[in-house]
Amino acid sequence: MGKRYFGTDGIRGRVGEYPITAEFVLKLGWAVGRVLQTRGFNKVVIGKDTRISGYMFESALEAGLSAAGVNIALLGPMPTPGIAYLTRTLHACAGIVVSASHNPYYDNGIKFFSRDGQKLADEAEERIEELLERPLETVGPDALGKAERIVDAAGRYIEFCKSTVPACTSLAGLKIAVDCAHGATYHVAPSVFNEMGATVIPIGVSPDGLNINQDCGSTRPAALCETVKEQGADLGIAFDGDGDRVIMVDHRGEILDGDDLLFIIARDRLRTGSRFNAVVGTLMTNLGLEMALRALGLDLYRAKVGDRYVLERLLAEHLILGGENSGHIICLDRTTTGDGIISALQVLAAMLQSGKSLHDLKAGMTRYPQTLINVSVTGELDLGRAPIPEAVQAVESQLGDHGRVLLRPSGTEPVIRVMVEGVDAGVVERHARELACVVRDALSA
């Protein structure tokens, strides 16, 4: 059954436009409370990022949950993975995150964790949507849910993050620029690295409700690159607005994306004796990572784009590492979901154990040139229409084993994403432009 509201990462949209309204979110809180409370688990935790609309939606969720007879633990601004962690440790029946991740302040969203700190199952989302179509029924006055604020939420999560690397790990002597995107990690990430001994240069730690992800963070790392070079830092770390993504910058100001970081972590896990035979990426994972993993004796399994699908494949294959080039990295041997701070710590631990700089650590992977073109489409997104398959086959034949072609409809806008990857950047770009023209002509005919 198709879902009306839930996407791959909860419910998201522009604030004030249905369904991202106070009225809908109140009803959503009630429906979630009705579906997810179980005997012995009658508490839901709520956390948020720093965008101004979080105040409104936090209150709406609190009212809806209370009407369903569910108790509420308010965490305040917290990284999404921190909310997943506290959902487990506070023995809640669910965790709710009010965040639109890397989007601008005028967007917001609601996403959920089950009581084990993982994404909700499709079945639970479908049951919530069914209840949203029914009238809201408030429990009796004596059964209303109560709310409490968890004042030490940040401290609990900071200690957990530090526990995911060996106790002997010290960042003393390292100068690290940390960009928090004026988002949910602003009061957590600098403390983690500082408490482990690093000299921290904080960036994007002054949220005002409107500046989240504005010219900073993992999606706009230019300021971080400049700061690393100007301050003579050993490296830089950038998170997105809700803290589940991370990218890093070496001392030269060169960016390491999720593919680079996943390779470094996988190689270090092998060094320390972890037993696994594959890593999970997505359809967009660079071919260079696949080749580098193969050299380590590991396979790359490709899931659909979205950390939800990466996690599903990890669980199905009983694997421990997966991620996206956007910086969503999941270390299931450390935590239950993608976590920017914990992923960065795994890279830093590998760096310290090897005695190499971040720049040298990434040298084991050679990135293949990749060109991505978005083709706007107004009609049916039929990629089987001639001559699209024939054109794709011709390009794949020319690229051989050292290239890839990927055509996929966007999940969020009316475009076809045309991606070509190969050894020669000029050849890759030419093929991508030719394919984009074929797709545009065929689908507009």
Q: What sign does the dihedral 67-69-75-81 (CA atoms) show?
A: negative
- Phi and psi at 96, nearest 5°, equal -120, 130
- As annotated, the active-site residues are 101
Task: Give the Cα separation of 337 and 243 in Å (integer).
Answer: 11
Task: Give the Cα separation of 418 and 182 in Å (integer).
Answer: 33
Tokens of 72: 């509420």
Q: How far is CA 350 from the centre of its chain?
A: 22
Which CA distances in Å does 81 have to 9, 162, 334, 423, 425? 13, 14, 12, 36, 37
Interacting residues of 305 by C-beta distance below 8 A, sequence separation 6+? 282, 283, 284, 324, 408, 411
Q: How far is CA 62 from the centre of its chain?
A: 25
Task: Give the Cα separation of 251 and 227 in Å (integer).
Answer: 10
In 3D space, the residue among 303, 283, 288 whose CA is nearest the CA of residue 418 turns out to be: 283
- Phi and psi at 203, nearest 5°, equal -135, 145
Beta-bridged to residue 177, according to DSSP, are 201, 236
Cα-Cα end-to-end distance for the chain:
32
Task: Give the Cα separation of 263 and 209 in Å (integer).
Answer: 35
Helix (H, G, I), strand (E, B) or coil at 32: helix
Task: Give the Cα separation of 430 and 417 in Å (integer).
Answer: 15
Name residue, tokens 């998201």: 12
Which CA distances in Å does 247 have to 31, 79, 224, 268, 307? 36, 16, 10, 18, 15
In 3D space, the residue among 271, 285, 244, 296 whose CA is nearest the CA of residue 349 turns out to be: 271
Tokens of 352: 């310290």
Helix (H, G, I), strand (E, B) or coil at 369: coil
Interacting residues of 394 by C-beta distance below 8 A, sequence separation 6+? none
Which CA distances in Å does 438 have to 272, 383, 389, 444? 49, 11, 10, 10
Beta-bridged to residue 94, according to DSSP, are 44, 114
